[in-house]
Structure 1
Amino acid sequence: MGGPAPPAGPGTAGLRAVRGKSIAVLGGGSLGLYLAGRLALAGHRVTVALRPGTPAPSGIVAEGDEQWSAAVEYADIGRLRGPYAQVIVAVKSHDLPPLLPALAALGDGATEYVFLQNGIPWWWRGIAGDGLPRARQVVGVVVQHSAERTAPGRIRVRRTAGDRYLCGRPDGSVDAALESLAADWRHAGIPAETTPALRRQVWTKLMGNATLNPLSAITGATVGELATEPATRAVLLAGMAEIARLAERDGAGVDNTPEQRVARSAEVGGVRTSMLQDRLAGRPLETEALLAAPIAIAEEYGEAVPVLRTLYGCLAFSSTSPERNPT
C-alpha cells in the first residue's frame, strides 16, 4: 500500500503542482466537487462536466472542516474534449451505463479512468466491450470520507483520522502509473493510498453502504443515530455480518468486524448518508449497486441474507411512495 497521506487541513498553503495536468471530473456531487477543487488548487487544469442545460456555478467553495475556494471550468458533458490525463467518474451507479461507452473518447493510451462508485462496481466481473476503457487504465477508488453538497458548487467537508481514498486496479496490480496518480492526489491534499486488494476494500466499504445507507433513507436518521440507537444498531450489525460472509465466500474478506464498523459510524456522528440526501432531494437511489447486486451474489453462493433482503424490500416500497419521504 502506498505511503501515508499528508493531512488535508483547511489551509491551502504549499499546494503547487510541478506540472499541471488536464483532468475531467464527471459528476458534480460532493466527492466530484471535492476532488475537482483540491486538484485545481494544486495547479491542475480541471473541467467539471455538467448535464446539458445545467447552469454552471462560480467555482467550488468548501465549508466545514476545510475552508477554501477553487476556480474550475464547467462544461456540458457533450462538449468535453480530451485527451485528459485523468478522467474521474464520480456519478451515481445508475447514471454510469450510458456514460461508459463514451469514456474512451476522452483519453488516450496514457489516460487513467478513475471510478468512485459505491456498491458492487461495473468492472466486478471483468471488462469487455467496444468503447470501454482498457482494463489496465481503470482505477477503482474506495472512499472513506464524508462530504455533502449543500448547493451547486458548494460542499461541506467532514474530516476524521480515518479518511482515505484507496486506489487500485481491478486485477490487484500496483504499477507506476497508479502510484503516480495517488501521489498527485496526495500532493493536492487528498488522502490517497494505493492498494493491491481493491475487492477486499469494496466489500469492507459495502458493510456500511449496504446497511447504513438504506436504513438511513428509510428512517431519516443520521449515521450516528443509527449506530447508537440499540434497535437500529442491531440491524446494522446483522446486515454487516451478512456482507462479511459474502466477502469470505468471494475470497476477499473484509478489514473490519461489524462491531468495529458500527463503532466508526458512531464516531462520525450527525452525518446524513448519500442515499438519505438523495431521497430528501427526490433523486434516484443507488438501490441496485448497494443491495440488489450483493443479494444476487448471495444467491450464487447459496447464502441467506435476510437483513439485506428486508432492507431492499422496504426501500423499494418507500421509494415508490414520495409522500412517505422522511423529513
Structure 2
Amino acid sequence: MKICIYGAGAIGGYVGVMLQRAGVDVSLIARGAHLEAIHKHGLTLHVGDEVLNAKIPASKDPRDFGPQDYVIIGLKSYQAWESAYDMEPLLGPNTAVVTAQNGVPWWYFYGLDHHTNHRLKSVDPDNRQWEVIGPERVIGCTVYPATEIESPGVIKHVYGDQFGFGEPNRTKSERLTKLYDAFAASKMKPRLFDDIRDDIWVKLWGNLSFNPISALTHATLDIVATDPGTRALSKNMMLEAKAIGDRLGVNFRVDVERRIDGAAKVGPHRTSMLQDVQKERPLEIDALVTAVQEMGQIVGVATPYIDAVLALVQQMGRVKDLYPTFPDAVDDVAEEVPTALAS
C-alpha cells in the first residue's frame, strides 16, 4: 500500500510516522525548513515518553513519487485549494484522496439526497478541487488528535488518536476497509461512519464557534465554554448550525449542552485559530465558519449569530493581514447572505 501525506505538518507528520511503523509505504510532501530537517535527520515524533524517528521519503514535488493508492491531505482548506493542480501526479486511476481537514469539505454535497452535487463557493471557488481531484475519489475524514511542530522535523503528540472515516456515498467500500485496517495496525484508533457527515458536524460545531470566539477574545477553550457570555454565544451559533444540519438530514448524536461541556473538560487549550493569531499565521475562517453561513443560505436558515461573529473574525483577519481569501468567491458569498439585522 502506497500512501502519500500531502502536507506533512503536525497532523500529517504524526500520521506518516505511525503508518510507516505499521509497514505502509509512506511518502511526504513538505516544504521549507521542515523538509530540510526531514532530509537531514528524519522525522521525529514525541508520543508520551517515547521518541520515534522515521526515515521517510520527502519532497516538495509530487512528481517524485507518482501515483499512489491513497493521498492523505493534511493541509488547511485554503492550502488544499491552492495545491489541487500540484496533486495531479499522485493521482492514478484508482487513487483515493482522504480529506483530513477541519470544517466543511468541498465535496459535502456529492451524492447527497439534498441539493445533490451543489458546489460550495466558500471552500472551492471555480470548482478546482471538484474538477481536478473529483469527489468520486474522496474518503471523508475527521481528525481528533492534537499535535504540534516543536521545531523543523520534530512533532509532539499532545493528546488523542482517533480518526473518523466514511465514504461520501455512504457505502462500505474495499478501499475504505483497507484504510481502516492500516490505521488500526498503526495503533491509531479509526472509526467507520455510515455517513461521515454526521461526525463532521459534531466536530464542526466546536470549530465554528469556539475557534473564532477564542481568536477574538484570546480566551482558552475552558473559559469560552464556561463564561456565561461566551458560552451563550457559542450555544446560539451551534443551534443555528444544528438547524442547517437538520434540514440536510444530519444525525447529531450529542446535544449542544453536552458538546459544550465536553469542550470545557479539555481544559485551558488554545484553539487552532487562537494559536494562528498568536503566531501570526493565516486563519482558516472560510471552511470553519463562512461555509456554514453559505449552507444556511442554501437551505433557508437565518444565521444572525454566525453572521456577526464571522464579520468580526474576518475583519480582524484583514486588519492583521492573516485572512487568505479565495479570489472573488468569498466576497460573492458574503454579499448574498443577509446581515444579522435583516434576518
TM range (shorter): 0.7 to 0.9
Q: Supply the AA of the counterpart residue of 2:156.
A: R
- Residue aligned with 1:85, SS: strand
Deviation string, structure 1 residues 297-318 (Cα, Å, up to 9, x no partner): 1122221212211211111121
**CA–CA separation in structure 2 for the residues paired with 1:227 and 1:151:** 31
- Residue aligned with 1:97, SS: helix
- 1:171-186 superposed matches below 5 A: 171-186=169-184
Counterpart check, 1:170 vs 2:153: no
Determine if contact 1:102/1:132 at 8 Å carries over to the other structure: no
Counterpart check, 1:101 vs 2:95: no
Shift in alpha-carbon separation, 1:292–1:131, aligned structure 2, 3 A: closer
- Deviation of residue 221 (structure 1)? 2.0
- Residue aligned with 1:96, SS: helix
Deviation string, structure 1 residues 164-223 (Cα, Å, up to 9, x no partner): 211111111111220111110011011111212112222221101101111111122222
Determine if contact 1:56/1:74 at 8 Å carries over to the other structure: no
- 1:209-220 superposed matches below 5 A: 209-220=207-218
- Deviation of residue 294 (structure 1)? 0.8
Match of 2:149 in 1: 149
**Is 63-72 or 174-183 further displaced after alignment?**
63-72
Match of 1:230 in 2: 228
Unaligned runs of 5+ in 2: 111-116, 118-126, 323-343
**CA–CA separation in structure 1 for the residues paired with 2:44 and 2:222:** 26
Determine if contact 1:217/1:276 at 8 Å carries over to the other structure: yes
- Deviation of residue 123 (structure 1)? 0.9
More helix by share: 2
Unaligned runs of 5+ in 1: 1-20
Counterpart check, 1:30 vs 2:10: yes
**Is 194-203 or 103-112 further displaced after alignment?**
103-112
Determine if contact 1:48/1:73 at 8 Å carries over to the other structure: yes
Between the two proteins, the alignment pairs up a number of residues equal to: 302
- Residue aligned with 1:215, SS: helix
- Deviation of residue 248 (structure 1)? 0.2
**CA–CA separation in structure 1 for the residues paired with 2:277 and 2:228:** 24
Choose the corresponding residue for 1:44, options 13, 20, 24. 24
**CA–CA separation in structure 2 for the residues paired with 1:54 and 1:157:** 17
**CA–CA separation in structure 1 for the residues paired with 2:106 and 2:155:** 27
- 1:138-287 superposed matches below 5 A: 138-160=138-160, 164-287=162-285
- 1:305-316 superposed matches below 5 A: 305-316=303-314
Determine if contact 1:136/1:169 at 8 Å carries over to the other structure: no
Q: CA RMSD in A?
A: 2.4
Counterpart check, 1:81 vs 2:65: yes
Relative to the length of structure 2, the TM-score reads 0.80
Shift in alpha-carbon separation, 1:106–1:66, aligned structure 2, 3 A: farther
- Residue aligned with 1:24, SS: strand
**CA–CA separation in structure 2 for the residues paired with 1:65 and 1:195:** 29
**CA–CA separation in structure 1 for the residues paired with 2:24 and 2:79:** 26
Match of 1:59 in 2: 42
**Is 32-41 or 148-157 further displaced after alignment?**
148-157
- Deviation of residue 99 (structure 1)? 2.1
- Deviation of residue 225 (structure 1)? 2.3
**CA–CA separation in structure 1 for the residues paired with 2:33 and 2:9:** 17
Q: Supply the AA of the counterpart residue of 1:137.
A: R
**Is 171-180 or 299-308 further displaced after alignment?**
299-308
**CA–CA separation in structure 1 for the residues paired with 2:12 and 2:105:** 17
Relative to the length of structure 1, the TM-score reads 0.84
- Residue aligned with 2:132, SS: coil
Q: Supply the AA of the counterpart residue of 1:250.
A: L
Determine if contact 2:35/2:59 at 8 Å carries over to the other structure: no
**CA–CA separation in structure 1 for the residues paired with 2:53 and 2:106:** 31
**Is 300-309 or 50-59 further displaced after alignment?**
50-59
Q: Supply the AA of the counterpart residue of 1:154.
A: V
**CA–CA separation in structure 2 for the residues paired with 1:278 and 1:77:** 26
- Deviation of residue 151 (structure 1)? 2.4
Identity among equivalent positions (%) equals 28
Q: Supply the AA of the counterpart residue of 2:140.
A: G
Determine if contact 2:62/2:89 at 8 Å carries over to the other structure: no
**CA–CA separation in structure 2 for the residues paired with 1:295 and 1:172:** 25
**Is 68-77 or 255-264 further displaced after alignment?**
68-77
- Residue aligned with 1:155, SS: strand
**CA–CA separation in structure 2 for the residues paired with 1:70 and 1:221:** 35
Match of 1:4 in 2: none
